[in-house]
Amino acid sequence: MKKLPLHTRVLLGGLLGAVAGILAHFLADGQPWLDALLRYAAEPLGKIFLRLLFMLVIPLIFSALVLGVAGLGDLKSLGRMGLRTLLYTVAVSTIAVVLGLTLVNVLRPGEGLPEAKRAQLIAQAAERGATVASATPPKTGIDLLIQLVPDNPIRAAAEGDMLALMFFSLFLGIGLTQVRTVAAQRFTEAVEGLYDVTMRLIDVVISAAPIGVGALLFSLTAQLGYGVLVQLARYVFVVLLALAIHQFVVYSLAVRLLGKMSPREFFRGIEEAMLTAFSTASSNATLPTALRVAEEHLHLPPNVSRFVLTIGATANQNGTALFEGVTVLFLAQLYGVQLGLSQQLMVLLICILGGIGTAGVPAGSIPVVALILKKVGVPVEGLGLILGVDRFLDMCRTTLNVTGDLAAAVVVSRGERHHCVAAETTDGD
């Protein structure tokens, strides 16, 4: 018998866990055996799965960011094209995260759970060792700016200070672009080895997701009943709405205003890449198709499209950044954790940088989301809800990521063509 794909097994595990939890909630709520089952079986399994993700997130973020920046090559020699790509990536990623956070704050998908159920959920999370709303955010924007620069990167990693760790990783990556010694090359290869090993271990952990997701969803639905699934449906709606707005409004405007290309022509030309991205849920796996449609359908200069798309497969993850922001705020609302402006600003920055450092493979953003949740004081057990529907959302946000890479290639190509025309005019004079 042919083995079912992992995403199908995760979906089945989540459905079985949710259905079993709902039945247990209505048939045995308050029974001692159900509490024992949660305490000694379901919750430990779910927590072990999450802790395995936590264990790997620091080496993943460090190695991915270092390699992402180092892969840009010599920043001085890249000049206009590298700077234009960087500025566009940061700007559009910022728009994506702000859009997602705005929709969550306006539509409030995590609210609506009865207060008694929310109080029960928080009390049980605290009883079993989860931390609720214990984060200590910076008091001012200046504090946040200062804390971006770590005085001790090892301590920042140990304490889970993501912004400081990301700053150090970016800084180290910039340093590697400036040094061309044999020793520096060996160090880059070592970091690449760390990345490869970490990704393989994440694959191993994700292979246990059917059990972990089933245990997490059983725990949640056994405590809350089917009401929590209503909140999940609202969350999925908000994510899809944000992705759709960014895909068809933001990218259309970018292509039209900055790339001087018809959005209809653009989307018609990249249809094959979008379908490949949706089916594989991997920016890296879609890269060969994206390179081909950029040259054959969009008629972009090969030197520009190859550079932008290769970098973008890792460093221009707009959909991933948007998804991470929406997920964190949704779970904060679900658990009744109030995130102030400074905390949401911190989430914004981590998501933007996470979009650069998140692996372009299925479920690559889940470890980052888990660490952000811990940083802002939201119980990570709520991640079980998200994992149950993550495969479908991953397919959708990967489509956005690949579309964003191709839109960036159009914008950067337009700038390069304009510069070449100006240079030829100057030479002719």
Q: pLDDT tens, 377-390?
A: 888 877 877 877 77
Measure the CA–CA gap between 48 and 413, rounded to whole angstroms: 47
366, 387 contact by CB (below 8 A): yes
Q: Which of 7, 428, 16 is nearest to 221 (CA)?
A: 16
Measure the CA–CA gap between 417 and 413, rounded to whole angstroms: 6
- pLDDT given for residue 373 in this prediction: 86
3-class secondary-structure state, position 340: coil
- pLDDT given for residue 199 in this prediction: 80
Q: How many CB atoms lie within 10 A of CB 372?
A: 24
366, 53 contact by CB (below 8 A): yes
Measure the CA–CA gap between 156 and 371, rounded to whole angstroms: 13
Residue-wise pLDDT tens for the chain (429 aa)? 457 777 678 778 888 888 888 888 888 877 888 888 888 888 888 888 878 877 887 887 788 778 877 766 655 545 566 777 778 888 998 999 999 999 999 999 988 777 777 776 666 655 555 444 444 444 445 666 777 788 898 888 887 777 788 788 888 988 888 888 999 999 999 999 998 898 888 888 878 888 887 887 788 788 777 777 788 889 999 999 999 999 999 999 999 999 999 999 999 999 989 988 887 777 777 887 888 899 889 999 887 787 788 777 666 678 888 998 999 999 999 888 888 888 888 888 888 877 665 555 555 677 778 878 888 888 887 787 787 777 788 889 889 999 999 999 999 888 665 544 444 444 544
Measure the CA–CA gap between 409 and 181, rounded to whole angstroms: 31
Give alpha helix (H) positions in 263-340: 263-269, 271-280, 283-296, 302-315, 318-334
DSSP 40: I
Q: How many CB atoms lie within 10 A of CB 218?
A: 30
Amino acid at 104: V
Looking from the CA of 123 toward its CB, the CA atoms found within 13 Å total 8
Measure the CA–CA gap between 101 and 317, rounded to whole angstroms: 16
